Chain A
Amino acid sequence: MTLKRFRIIQLFVVIVLAGSVGWATVRQIYFVPIMATALAVILLFYLRSMVKEVIADERDHEIGGKAARLAITMFCWIVIIVMFAFLAFRGYGPYFETIAVALGYAVCLLMVLYTVFFRYYNQVAFLEKKFVYILVGALLILFLIIAGLRLLSGEDSWLCQNGQWIKHGSPSAPMPSAECQK
């Protein structure tokens, strides 16, 4: 397969994937986007392996590295600013603090992943692959435990019911100062 044909098929797959994800999300059928994404990734990996030409060389990797570093830096700055804005206005809505915390954790996760991969590539000659697998596995398990605990603990927030703010669980945020108008 030629690189040009691969690029055309890749574009077509992305369009179909975006369409199916949009369609399924509107209808609240969430297994379709997951299945469609998995299928698209497998298909593209298979097609990529059939391309005989060079898809990316050292120059692409160098540019990719620079672009990724800049994107990570910009993402972190923007998200941190948005996070502080949400924290500053947490009194106006029950979910403001939750969103701020989620954004903060997202930045932390990104920085941890960047550090792990940087150290991996920096010391790849000194590390055994087994150690790296154990480290990635431990991080994955830790993430699943935290996510599981968070999901099992239920939603802790202030709910607006019959014109009054009602405590749901044990929210860390104080009662919203905005008027409850339901």
Chain B
Amino acid sequence: MTNRIKEFRAKNDLTQEELARLAGVRRETIVFLEQGKYNPSLMLAHNVAEALKTTIEELFSF
């Protein structure tokens, strides 16, 4: 599974810390997500997509 979190985060001018706060997780989790080392739950994927003003389909690809 790959994702475009880093790209969308840059578009929205957000830091990892800010995105973590918006998604309700720790900053380390965002780091691992961006590196593709962690597969999020559907709820977290939804929260991240919402924080980045996009959809899960746009953000994640299989």
Instruction: Judge whether B38 and A54 touch: CB under 8 Å.
Output: no
CA distance A58 to B28 in the complex (A): 12
Kindly list chain B residues whose C-beta atoms are within 8 Å of the C-beta of A54.
20-21, 24-26
Q: How near does chain B come to A179, taking the closest CB pair, in angstroms? A: 60
Nearest residue, chain B, Cβ from A60: B26
Q: Which of A26-79 contact B (CB under 8 A)?
A: 53-54, 56-60
Q: Which applies to chain A's interface (DSSP): helix, strand, loop or mixed?
A: loop
Chain B 21-62 per-residue mask, 1 if CB under 8 angstroms from chain A, else 0: 100111011001000001011011000000000000000000
B24 touches A59 (CB 8 A): no
Q: Is B24 within 8 A of A57, CB to CB?
A: yes
Q: Is the CB of A58 within 8 A of B20?
A: no
B37 and chain A: residue at smallest CB distance = A59
Complex: chain B residue closest to A59, CB-CB: B29
Q: Are B32 and A59 in contact (CB under 8 A)?
A: yes
**Centre residue among B20, B25, B32, B43 by max chain A CB count within 10 A:** B25
What are the 6 tightest A-B residue pairs by CB atom distance, in nearest-first order?
A: A57-B25, A59-B29, A57-B26, A54-B26, A57-B29, A58-B41
- Give the interface of A toward B (CB within 8 A): 53-54, 56-60
Apart from A54-B26, A59-B28, A59-B32, list 8 A-B contacts with CB within 8 A.
A54-B21, A57-B24, A57-B44, A58-B25, A58-B40, A58-B43, A58-B44, A60-B26
